[in-house]
Amino acid sequence: MIIDVLTLFPEMFNGPFESSIIKKGRERGLVHLNLVNIRDFSEDRHRTVDDTPYGGGGGMVMQPGPIHRALEHLGRRGELGTVVLLCPQGLRFDQEMARSLAAAERLVLICGHYEGVDERVRAAADLEISVGDFVVTGGEIPAMLVVDAVCRLIPGVLGEPGGAEDDSFADGLLEYPQYTRPRTYRGREVPQVLLSGHHREIARWRRQESLLRTLVRRPELVDPERLEPGDRKMLRTVAERLRRLGID
């Protein structure tokens, strides 16, 4: 996959894009990241990319010209794959969206900044994405989140087939609890079932714990249409456990 990131601050990506999973994906030739400095497409000697808003108000607005010229430099509209504008008004980014974007051959991310981008930039985007209902300084950190979530879903990036399948949200639920050595730590034991070697029982325990954790922490994620055949019976068991804990 080719991922182009249009930004005013390409230096912000050096650490995240040269570490961990993204670095491995690049080294394996599975992810090609291209940082494009929007200032390079300004048409004055001061490399101006923003101006005061029409109608008044505080802050500065990113001009449409430099962004459009940067996109045109990358290729014609049909050659750019999916063009994404990162902005607070966009659709909420989630695992399903990450999975959809990971299927694309090319992805272009536009990072807004200041008070946002000129409204006419939106016409160049196929999709607008928000990573949450909070305010950050610009689109750079949200772009890093999107790239990380997408890259780990590209086959081969994690190094193991199906390596991301058990992650939280992969099947709509939160991930089950994980344990490693030591077997006993500060008086807390690893659940016996994980030591049993019975793979079917372990899978059953993990599914039940995943349902329990999701019901307690994020009940809105439980979609009846996505439940597996044995989940309804597990849900009754989970509900009983919650009642014993005094949680309705």
Residues annotated as catalytic are 88, 115, 152, 167
Q: From start to end of the chain, where are the E strands?
A: 2-7, 32-37, 50-51, 61-62, 82-92, 106-111, 127-130, 184-185, 188-189
- Long-range (24+ apart) CB contacts under 8 A made by 200-208 are 204/230, 204/234, 205/176, 206/176, 207/176, 207/231, 207/234, 208/234, 208/237, 208/238
> CA 123 to CA 217: how far, in whole Å?
38
Structure tokens at 243: 């009642």
